[in-house]
Amino acid sequence: MRALLDYLTTWPEDGRYQSHTIQKIGGGANNILYKVCSDEGNFAVKFTLRDGRRRAWREFQTLKAVQSHGLAIAPKPILLDETSYPQPVVVQSWLDGEVTAVPPQTDADWQKLIQHYVSLSQITPQDTAVDLETAVINFNGVKNGVTQIQQQCAKVPASHQPAALKELVRWAKRLPDSLPLAPLALCRVDANTLNFVRRAGAWASVDWENSGWGDPAFEVADLITHPAYLDVPVARWEWVAELYGVLCGEETAVTRIHTYTTLMLIWWVTRLARTLYEIPRGLDERLVPRDPNWQQQAEQKLAIYAQRAFAAITV
């Protein structure tokens, strides 16, 4: 394994190393991922961005927690090394199944996606010996959500903040902190369609580098507002929220989802404004080159999120 990892840090393209077949997998901006196939089985080698999140560590720890609860919905952890290579690395089993950028198209597939999140809510700090931190993005209560919005906003000088952003943040700061704190559970974070492995049984997911403890209902709001699902009809999201409430059995889950969804629309306005400010100044590091049209795409998304946020706060 060590010799293989040494070879992979030369960042080869598809090919072979000794008895292994190597395939470089694209799609992620914060990691370099390889699928390695051999007679002993297939596994994923993921080199992550080195930053304060400890991405490889978070992923490895989360996979251990999921495995300890007997849930076959994530890869099996094999190796973690944060110090021996230019980038931290996590090695895990490879999951076979369908991966597509297209959101679910049937009630049955939506239910499998939501059931995946409900399964994770079984994993709590009280019954987990594995060390985990708070999820990178997760709101637990209105005050906490507004604080995280303000933290994003603070990274953009006032002179570079769009007028819509300032107005939305002012609205959020006036919200009463009316939601009860939710019991913590494991949250995977990052609802990108490409992170889910669709199978005949329970769906699985990959890319756990932002995961940790949080309010599990927030995960549904994160799903609803994720850029990969911008074209999903509003009626579907009402159905999804109600289904989650039924499956998880939490009395306030649907209310929390609706509140967090509005706050996340505002969070995305702040995050995209931050993107447009930081990238030209070299302040947003990535391991993979950006799309040359990134600025136009970010501006278009910011306009969409601002429109939806204003619609939500005027209901």
Is residue 134 located within the same domain as residue 226? yes
What residues make up the domain containing 65? 2-93
* In the predicted structure, residue 40 carries a pLDDT above the cut 90: no
Is residue 201 located within the same domain as residue 307? yes
Closest CA relative to residue 45, chosen from 57, 31, 58, 55: 31
In DSSP terms, which residues pair with 22 in a beta bridge? 15, 36
Residue 27: the pLDDT is: 77
Task: Report if residue 98 sits inside a domain.
Answer: no
Report the CATH number at residue 151.
3.90.1200.10
The residue type at 289: P
Is residue 17 located within the same domain as residue 114? no
Report the CATH number at residue 14.
3.30.200.20
Residue 134: the pLDDT is: 97
Closest CA relative to residue 48, chosen from 275, 207, 281, 212: 207
Yes or no: say if 272 and 305 are a contact pair by the CB < 8 Å rule. yes
Is residue 84 located within the same domain as residue 114? no
25 Rama class: left (phi>0) / alpha (psi -120 to 50) / beta? beta
Q: What is the pLDDT of residues 226-244, one digit of tens each?
A: 999 999 999 999 999 999 9
Residue 178: the pLDDT is: 86
CA angle 196, 135, 165 (to 5 degrees): 95
SS3 content of the chain, % helix, strand, coil (to 5): 45, 15, 40
* In the predicted structure, residue 33 carries a pLDDT above the cut 80: yes
Is residue 124 located within the same domain as residue 264? yes
Res. 29 pLDDT band, cuts 50 70 90: confident
Largest CA distance in the chain: 62
Yes or no: say if 219 and 117 are a contact pair by the CB < 8 Å rule. yes
Query: What average pLDDT does range 80-101 have in this prediction?
Result: 97
In DSSP terms, which residues pair with 224 in a beta bridge? none
* In the predicted structure, residue 285 carries a pLDDT above the cut 90: no
Query: What average pLDDT does range 140-163 have in this prediction?
Result: 96
Distance CA 199, CA 263 (A): 32
> What is the pLDDT of the chain when averaged over all its residues?
96
Residue 56: the pLDDT is: 98
Res. 112 pLDDT band, cuts 50 70 90: very high
Is residue 268 located within the same domain as residue 122? yes
Residue 132: the pLDDT is: 97
Residue 24: the pLDDT is: 96
Domain count, the chain: 2
Is residue 264 located within the same domain as residue 186? yes
* pTM of the predicted structure, to 2 decimals: 0.95
Domain termination site, one of 93, 126, 157:
93
Is residue 40 located within the same domain as residue 167? no
Q: How many whole angstroms from its chain centre is CA 257?
A: 16
Q: How many whole angstroms from its chain centre is CA 106?
A: 23
Is residue 160 located within the same domain as residue 217? yes
- The set of residues, in sequence order, having a beta carbon less than 8 Å from that of 235 and lying 6+ positions away, is none
The residue type at 198: R
Residue 28: the pLDDT is: 78
For the chain, the residue count is 315
Res. 110 pLDDT band, cuts 50 70 90: very high
